[in-house]
Structure 1
């Protein structure tokens, strides 16, 4: 129960940001997804991260995950991408987000610059490398949401870049 409360608290700020940013330049057909992407895009651009979001697709209404879970996934991926750019020279900072329909599945891709630190796997899943409290819930929550929806998730770390790809089937 305590762990679930900490997970919820971890994602709560994403939900608040989503509600604040309903008028957005991103038009995916899902107002909550547009709001979280626009809000996080603004947060990422403030410290000089080059951000490009291509999410001008129509997100189907009949997804196997709720809008809230979709926003948790997008918010956590964006938060991780922003943190991965910390400490990099401004010229190297970047985040690329791409969303589109691949047949009957929603495809989501996040690529970001990274310092190339060693990634930690526990039980076949990537885990946070940060030791301070409040970290480590995002990756776990993303994994749980995608698994529950019967989706596919892939994480790849290569030469200064990290990519997460997700496929989500429709209902």
Structure 2
């Protein structure tokens, strides 16, 4: 399961380097097809998990009836750990965007960084999902790098909100950071990443405002 998903996520990253609109459209179709395959496999794994859950519940009942509360508690803890390690699929109206957000959620979890995602998009979107991936992908990479530079005891958090009202789309992306690490974050590939974000936004006459306050980097993007 993990091999299939991460192979697919590698294909999503390729969308960031598309050369033309036609190439992006072809890639989007291919990614959507593969994403549906991932969802099918994920559903199969979920069905298998619930099938096994019946056996787990039966075993725990037997342990409790025999007075083994400590063993039952340990067994429940192991089940919770196993279930929390399962990949959670982020679902939106757009499979390419769903795949990207799912990958980002998994990467943040692996880095032990909370990542809050709120998406409300309609079925009609004037922005190509691949362009949304360029924007969110670069902002997330910068955010993950910024959080990784924070000391272990620091508050680490990444969040994104994507909303739509009629044809207008708004994106708010936030992450914690330390001002002393900012020069490292903005150099090299990070500067190029923000440049790619601005280019994608300009295609739709959108605007981006960046603010930095109380150790929080915030990018507010509006597409009219």
Higher strand share: 1
Distance change in 2, residues 1:91/1:118 (3 Å): closer
How far has the Cα of 1:145 moved from its partner?
A: 1.2
Larger radius of gyration: 2
Name 1:15's counterpart in structure 2: 14
Q: Secondary structure of the equivalent of 1:93?
A: coil
Using the size of structure 1 for normalisation, the TM-score is: 0.73
Question: Where do 5+ consecutive residues of structure 2 fail to align?
Answer: 1-10, 17-27, 40-87
Distance change in 2, residues 1:44/1:77 (3 Å): same
Higher helix share: 2
Distance change in 2, residues 1:59/1:115 (3 Å): farther
Using the size of structure 2 for normalisation, the TM-score is: 0.57
**Bigger relative contact order, structure 1 or 2 (CA pairs below 8 A, ≥6 apart):** 1
Distance in 1 of aligned mates of 2:187 and 2:121: 35
Runs of 4+ in 1 over 4 A off after TM superposition: 16-22
Name 2:201's counterpart in structure 1: 146
Name 1:3's counterpart in structure 2: none
Give yes or no for contact 2:121–2:162 (8 Å, CA) kept in 1.
no
RMSD: 3.0
Post-superposition Cα deviations, 1:90-111, rounded to whole Å, max 9, x if no partner, equal 5511001111114431111111
- Please point out which of 96, 112, 118 is paired with 1:32: 96
